[in-house]
Structure 1
Amino acid sequence: MCRCDRRTIMHLFLLLILQATAAFGQIDPAHCRYALGMHDKRIKDEDITASSQWYDTTGPQYARLDREEGDGAWCPKGQLEPSDTQYLQVDLGRMTFLTVVVTQGRYARNSGNEFARAYRLNYSRDGVQWKSWRDCLGNTVMEGNKNAYAPVTNDIHPPIITRYVRLIPVTRVSTTVCMRVELYGCSWDEGLISYSAPEGQLMVPPGPIASLNDSTYDGTREGRKLSGGLGQLTDGITGLDDFLVTHQHKVWPGYDYLGWRNDSLENPGYVEMEFEFGRQRNFTSMKVHSNNLFSRGVKIFSSVSCWFKPHPKTVEEPDPVTFETVLDDRNPSARYVTVQLNYRVAKSLRCRFFFADLWMMFSEISFQSVDTVVPTQAPQVVTTTLTIEESTVPVTVNTSSSDNDTPGDGNTPILIGCLVTIILLLVIIIFLILWCQYVCKVLEKGPRQILDMEVTVRLSSCSDTIILQTPPVPPRSRHGPTDGPANTAPHYERVFLLDPQYQNPAVLRNKLPELSQSAEASACGGGYAEPDITQCTPHQCFHSNVPHYAETDIVRLQGVTGSNMYAVPALTVDSLTRKDISAAEFPRQQLIFREKLGEGQFGEVHLCEAEGLPEFLGEGSPLPERDGHTVLVAVKQLRADATSQARNDFLKEIKIMSRLNDPNIIRLLCVCVSSDPLCMVTEYMENGDLNMFLSQREIESTLTHANNIPSVSLSDLLHMSVQISSGMKYLASLNFVHRDLATRNCLLDRRLTIKIADFGMSRNLYSSDYYRIQGRAVLPIRWMAWESILLGKFTTASDVWAFGVTLWEIFTLCKEQPYSLLSDEQVIENSGEFFRNQGRQIFLYAPPLCPPSLFELMMCCWSRNIPDRPSFEGLYQALRPHVNH
C-alpha cells in the first residue's frame, strides 16, 4: 500500500513538472532574436566554411560581425561576376528558427572598402537538400550594404527553420566583395522537420475573395498536395479573427491562413495531415490555431484523430488518439485548440481533422513533448529538464521498485530524501514562475538600456540579452586618435515609464532637477523670417507663443476609441453650452449599415448610407456633389453599456467637433443623441487613410507610367504636407491638442483632399502602432515627443513633434514604421536619451525622397527643448512656397 502511494505521489509530481515544461513550447518571432554566435565565437571556426577565399587572412572564419581579425572579413576569390554563386556557409549546430541577418563589409580599420550590395539566402535542414529563401512576394534578393563599416539589418519574413545557412553575394557588375555576418534567432525545439497537407484553396464569390494557400511552404507541390517542407503553419504568426485581415502590408486577403473547403476535397469531410520529426518524441499535446468566423462558414474542427508511427520502417499503431472539440457558435474569435496526445511515443504522426462547417482554416500548429521513456529491466531513472528563463533545472526521479520492498528496508530513507528534494524543487519552481509572471505583468514592456550607441534587446527571457549595434561612425581622419577614454557610468537616475512618478511629474522633477530647467529653457529665439526651409538652424528655429497645456490642464476625451486622443483646454469645454452645438438631430432610421470600419474601447465606427442627407443639411452642405441622394458617412457609435465618463466625453466631443470648420479637418455632419446608442455622423473619405494610400504607390517615374503602376509625385507629397500643416494650424489656433497625429489619421476624399481625424486607433490594422500598458490607455509612442512619454505632457509642441514623424512617413511612402529597427521598449529608452541630452539619442534617418531642406525642418520638429520647436503657423508658411499651385 505504501509502495503504491509513493509511486502515485511521484507520478503526480513528475506530471506537474512535465506540464510546466510543456507550457514554454510556443515560439514567438518577435522575441526569437538571440545572437547565434558569430560575433562572440560561440559558432566555431570549423563551422564556418566558404566556396572560396582570396587569402588565408580573408577566410570564412573572419566573417564575424564587428570583428577586425585577419584582414577584416571573408572575401571570395577574384572578382565576383553577376553569374557567380560564391557562398559563405554557417553550420548552426542544431535546428534553428532564424529571424534576422545582419551584414557588414570589410572596413579593416579604415584600410578596406569592399562590401556586398545585395545577397541571397540558401538554407538546408540536413546539409544535402538546399532551398532558396524568398519573401512573401517571391523576392529572393535582400538589400546589402552601402559602405564597408555600417551594419545592415534584414528581418527574415517569413522566418527560416534550418541548421545550415548560405549567404550568396549578388552583384550586377564585376566587383570585389567581402562580408561579415551575424545571425539572430533561437533554437527550434519542437523537432518538426516537415508537414504534408492538401494544398490550400481559393475562396471565391458569392463570399469574399481570399487565397488560403500556404504561400511560404518550402517543400514540393505535386497533385494539389504539399509534402516534405515547412511553411506558414510553423512561422510563429497567428492569424487574426477576420481571416481577410493580415499582419503584413501588400499581401492578399487570407495570407495568414491555410484553408480548405469541405466539398472540394478528394476526401470530403476531413483534412489529413502528416507530421515528421527529427527524432522520436513522447507527445503530450498538439496546439492548433484555428479560425472560427462562423458568419462566413468557417469553424474550428469538430474532432481530430491521430495515428502514431514510432519508427520510419514500422507500420502505424492501430489505436489512434481521438479528440472531440467543443464548438463555439457565440464567439467568432480565432483560438488555439489544445489536443491531448496522451504521451504517445512516435517519430511521425498522421492526423485527420474533421469539418464542422463549410470551411476550416489553420494558421499555426505546434507540438508539446517530453523526453521519451523506454521501458527496460533495469531500474528506471527519468530525467526531465524544466526550462525557466533559459536556465535548466534537472529533476531526477527514481521509479525502481521490487516485490520485496518493505517500509523498513534501506530504500526508504533514499525515497524520502528524493520526495523532499522534489517538493523543495517544486516550491522553488512555482515561486520562480509566479515571480516571473508578476514582474512581467507589472513591467510588461519595461524600458531597456541604449548606452554607448548600443541597442540592447531584452527577449522573452528575463536574464538573457543580445546586442544589435547601431552603425559606427567612420573615422574622419586616418591620423585621428583610435582609442578614446574609457566609458564611465553616466551620473543620472534612470527614468522608467511605469515608475509611479510618471503619474506625478512634480515628484519626477524633484528626482531629476535638471528636467524642469531644460524643459523650460529656450536655445533659440525670434521668428522664422524667410520661407526657405534651409534656414532652420539651432539658433534660428521658429516657434510661437501658443500656451503649452500640461496634462492636468486639459480635458481628455475618450469618446468611442477610449484613446484619449483629442485634448482641449478645460476652460474651452466648460464654457460650451447646448447652443454651441450646430449639428442637428438626424433620423436614425435613415442610416443604413454597410460595414464596420473599426472598433474602440467604448464603441464602434461604421460605414453607413445616409438617405436624404443632402436635403437634410440644406444649402451650404459640406458634402461633395452626388448624382443620387444616398451618400456614405462614417458613424461613431457609443456602446449602450459604456461608462458614464465615456458617455460624457462623447457628448463633449460632439460639442467640440461641432465647432470645427476647416477644409482639412473631418467635419461633423449631424448627430443621433435623442436615444441610445449615441451616434455622431461625420464625412466618409472614399480613398481611405493616407498610410494605406501611400503604401500602395511608388514615386512617379517613366517606369510607373509605362507599367501603369499607381504613383505619386514629389509635388503631391509636398501638397499633402501643406494640407496637414494647415489643418493642424487651425487646431492649434483653438488651443486643441490632437495627441495622435499620424498618416493613419489623415483621410483622403475622392479629390485627394486630406482631412485630419482620430479613427486610427479604432482599427485593428494599426494595432501595432500603439504600445499597450496594462491598466492604461495605449500610446502611439513612435510618434510621441520625449516629454509626452516620460511626463505625460501633451501640448501643441508635442503635436509638432508628431507632425515631423508624419512628414517622415509621407516621404518614405509609408513603407516602414518609424524606428522600425527599435523595439517598443527601445523607443521608450530613446526618449530618455533625449531628456538626458548626452548625444546618444537616435533620430529617424533622412528618407531618400526627402529634400535636404525638408529634413532640416523635420529635425527642428524633433528639437529636444520644447520652445525650440516650430509653430504650425511657421510650418505652414515654410512648406507652402514649395508647392506648385
Structure 2
Amino acid sequence: MKVMKVQQMSHHVVFIMLAAAVQCQVNPEMCRYPLGMTGGQIQDEYISASSHWSESTAARFGRLDLDNGDGDGAWCPDIMSEPDGLKEYLQVDLRSLHFITLVGTQGRHADGMGNEFAQRYRIKYSRDGSNWVGWHDRKGRQVIEGNRNAYDVVLKDLEPPIIARYVRFMPVTDHSMIVCMRVELYGCQWLDGLMSYSIPEGHQMIYRGLDVYFNDSVYDGSSAERLTKGLGQLTDGTWGLDDFLHSHIYGMWPGYDYLGWNNKSLPKGYVEMIFEFDRVRNFTSMKVHCNNMFSRGVRMFRQATCYFRSGSDWESDPVTFRPEVDRISQGARFITVPLGDRTASAIKCRFHFSDVWMLLSEVAFQSGSAVYNTSLTSRKHGHPTNLLPGEDPTHKVDDSNTRILIGCLVAIIAILLAIIVIILWRQVWQKMLEKASRRLLDNELSARLAVQTRAFSSLHSSLTSDSGSTSNSTYERIFPLCSDYQEPSRLIRKLPEFAQSMEHLGPSISSRALASSGLDGAPHYAEADIISLQESADSYSIAAVNMNLFAGTDSSMREFPRHKLTFKEKLGEGQFGEVHLCEAEGMQDFLDEDLSIEGNNESPLLVAVKTLREDANKNARNDFLKEIRIMSRLRDPNIVRLLAVCVDTDPLCMITEYMENGDLNQFLCMLRLKESADEDKSRPEEKEGESMVSYSKLIGMAVQIASGMKYLSSLNFVHRDLATRNCLVGKNYTIKIADFGMSRNLYRGDYYRIQGRAVLPIRWMSWESILLGKFTMASDVWAFGVTLWEIMTLCKKQPYSQLSDEQVIENTGEFFRDQGKQVYLPKPLCCPDRVYNDLMLSCWRRNAKQRPSFQDIHTQLMESLA
C-alpha cells in the first residue's frame, strides 16, 4: 500500500512537472485528478457549510471515503433540506482556480446506524468568492442525480466543466428530509489564470435551409448585447470539428462547438474580445482554434491585434500577428499568436475577418507570473513603477520563469531520490526482521494447524460469553425506524466484535448482512494476483469470521508424506507460490468417504500441489494457513477439494484434486460442435466421436459451474477469477471449479499486468471491478457470463479478441458512462437467442443489483435443458 502511495505521489509530481513545462490548453479527458477532499490536501479550514447538525457532522467531515471505512463521517445540515435546494450548502475552497470535470458524492451509513444521503443536488461556483453562478449542463438542466443509498460512491461528469476556486454542493429533495453528504472534486489547476472574457453575441447562419447557431450556450456571465464577466465554450476544453455542422457532443445542434460571427453584421471588420486575468502575468503566446472551411465561406482570421493593460488604461503599442493564408486545407487548427512576453492583467484582441464568417472554438494562453519593477520597463510599456523601499531602480529583474522552473525540477528530483532511498532502506530492514523471526514463525504455523478446531471453538465461546458488550458490524445494515437523523456512533467497529454481533443476529441475518456488502472485504477464492482500490488486509479478517459458518464441519487435515509426491508439471505461478501437477502415492488412505476415486486404489493419484515459497513473508504464510482452513470446509461436488497438507517443514503445501482431462479451456479447444444442437438427447454419447460435443453437453457443463458458484455464493465467497481455465474436467464431462489458473504460461495473455506487479483478468472482469476495485458476487456473475460465452464458442477465441488490453479497459469506461457506446461479446453461433439475450446479457448489466443471482442462473440453465 505504501508503494502504491509513493507511485501515486510520483504520478502527481510528473503531472506538475509537465504542467509547469507546457502550459497549454486543458484536455478534459486527462484533467481528472482528485483535488484533495479524499486525500486531505484540502485542509479543514477551507471546507465550510451553511450549517451543521452537530459537531460530529460539521463541514470538515464531508470528505469522500473511497477506502470504504465505517461511513460515520459526513456533513449534515442543521435543518431539513427543502425542495428548491438553495438554502443549505457545503462549500469547498480550492485556494486557486481549477478546471473541474467530475464530482463524486456519497452518503452516511455509519455501519448501519445512519441512512442519510442526497438523492439530488445542485452546484454553484465562484471564481472570486462574491459572484456565484449556478451550474447547468449543455441542455440547461441544473439538478444532478445523486445517491440511491448511503454506501456507494456516485461519480458525475460535469458537462460542461467549470472553472472556479469555490464550489458549493446544495442538496435537493422532493420533500423535507434529512440529508448528509461526502464529496470529492476532480480536475486540475487552471494554469491560464483567465477569469472572464467579453465577446459579441454569436450570429446565426442559414446553410441550405438549415439553421446553424454559433452562440455561447454555456456562458456563465451576463449576456446583454455583449457577453461579459464570464467564461464559456472558448474555455471548455472542447475543440470543434473540421465540419462545423457536426459536434463532438451527442445530441447538440449544428454549429454547437463554435462561436461564430458574420462579417456583414460587424461593420468594423473585426471581432473584439477582452480577456481578464487573475493577476498581472507575463504572456508569451495565445492559441486560438479556428475553423477554415472556406468552401462554406468560413476562414481563419486574417490578422490579430492585441492590446495590453496592467492598470486602468490600455497600452498604445499593440502586438500584431498575421497567420499564413491556407487555401488548400479546410481542416480546423490551432493558430499560435506570439504575444512578445508582454505583461498585463487584461488583453484586448481584435480578430479581423478574411471571409464572410469567422468561427472560433477554443482560446488558451501561455504565461507566467510577471515581475516588472524597473524604470525602463515601466517607461516602455506605460506601467506605473512598483519599486519596493530601498530598491535600486536600475536593477533589472529577469522576467523569465526558466530559472524558477529549473530550481523546481532539481528540488523535485532530490525529493524523489530521497523517497527511493527511504523505501529501499525500509525494505532491507523489513527483510532483516523477517529472517530474525522465521524460526519462531515456523513453530507457530505447525501448532496453529494442529489445534485449529479447538481454537475456533474457544474463539467462538469467548466471543459469545461476553454478553455485556455490544458492537455494530461493519457490514451490518440496520436502518432506523424513522427517517430522522441518527447521531453517529462513537464505537470502534472492528473484528472480532463483528463475529459476536453476527452471532446474536442469527444465521439468516448474518448471511444477508454479508451479502449486502458491496466491498472487496468478502473472502475470495481465486488465486490470481488481483489488486483493488481498497485495502486487502481486512479480507482475511472477514474470512476468519465466515469460518464460523462452517463451525460444524470437520476441518482436520492430515499431514501427507512429502516423499510420496512425484512432480509432473508446473501448472501456474503466483506472487507468493507455485502450483504443480504431481502424482501422490497412497493418497487413497487420506481421502474422506464421500470423495470417490475411480481406478485402481494401488495406482498413484493425480493431484495439484500448491506451494508457498520459503522466502514468503509472515503475512503470506498466515494467509496460506487461513486458505487451508477455508478450503478444508468446502464440500460441493463441483468445487475442487482439499485432500491433505504438508506443513511440517518448508515449503508449506496444500494438496487438492486434479481431474484427468485437465482444464476446461484446453478440453473445449480440442472439440467440435455437432452440426445440429437439437439432436436427440438420448443418443448414446459414444456415437458422437471423441472430438464431437453436443449443445446439451455444453449447457450441462455450464449448469455444473453455476451449481458450484451457487454454493460459493451461499457462503458469501467471491471467486474473482472465474473462467474456463480455472475449471477442471473429469470423466463424463464432470466439471469442478478450481483457483489456480494464475500466471500459467499458457494463459499469460489472459492477464493484464499492472506496472509489472499485479495481474488482472480484465477480459472476464466487470466494469466496477476494473474501475472501482469492487469484487462481489455480482462481479462473479459478470465473469460467469464470459465463461458461458467461452463454453458456447468452444474457447476458439479469447473474449474481446478484436480489442487490445487498453481498448478493453476503455470499453469499461463506456459501461461507466452508460451512453450506449459499450461493446458486448457477440452471440456465439450455436447459442440460442434466449440464452444470449436472457442470460448472458443480463450477467453484463451495468447495474450490479440488476444482474441475476447464481440461483437464478442455475434454474434458468436447467430449464433450457428440459
Larger Rg: 2
TM-score by length of 2: 0.49
* TM norm structure 1: 0.48
The structure richer in helix per residue is: 2
